[in-house]
């Protein structure tokens, strides 16, 4: 199943590395609901909770280089 998601994106800045290459960096984060993508499997725990949360947190850093 494919579905668009919205993530928060922060611009990290532009820098030139020691070899003269221009680079730009971003961080991103967000949350999705597993069941929105057809992922419904779960298992009950003896403590009363569930094994897998419905909410999945997504976070990362990305860097681009000018070629």
Q: Name the pTM for this structure.
A: 0.74
For residue range 14-29, list pLDDT tens digits in order.
999 999 999 999 999 9
pLDDT tens per residue across span 11-65: 999 999 999 999 999 999 999 999 898 888 888 888 888 888 889 999 999 999 9
The three-state secondary structure class of 57 is strand
Residue 42 makes CB contacts below 8 A (sequence gap 6+) with 50, 51, 52
Give the closest residue to 33 by CA, choosing from 56, 4, 62, 65: 56
What does the domain layout of the chain look like in residue ranges? Answer: 8-65
Q: Which residue has 């403590």 as its token pair?
A: 47
Q: Domain 8-65 is of which CATH architecture?
A: Beta Barrel (2.40)
């Amino acid at each position: 199943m494919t579905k668009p998601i919205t993530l928060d994106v922060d611009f990290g800045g532009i820098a030139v590395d020691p070899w003269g290459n221009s680079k730009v960096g971003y961080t991103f984060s967000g949350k999705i609901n597993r069941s929105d993508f057809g992922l419904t499997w779960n298992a009950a725990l003896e403590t009363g909770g569930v094994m897998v949360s419905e909410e999945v947190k997504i976070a990362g850093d990305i860097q681009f280089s000018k070629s």
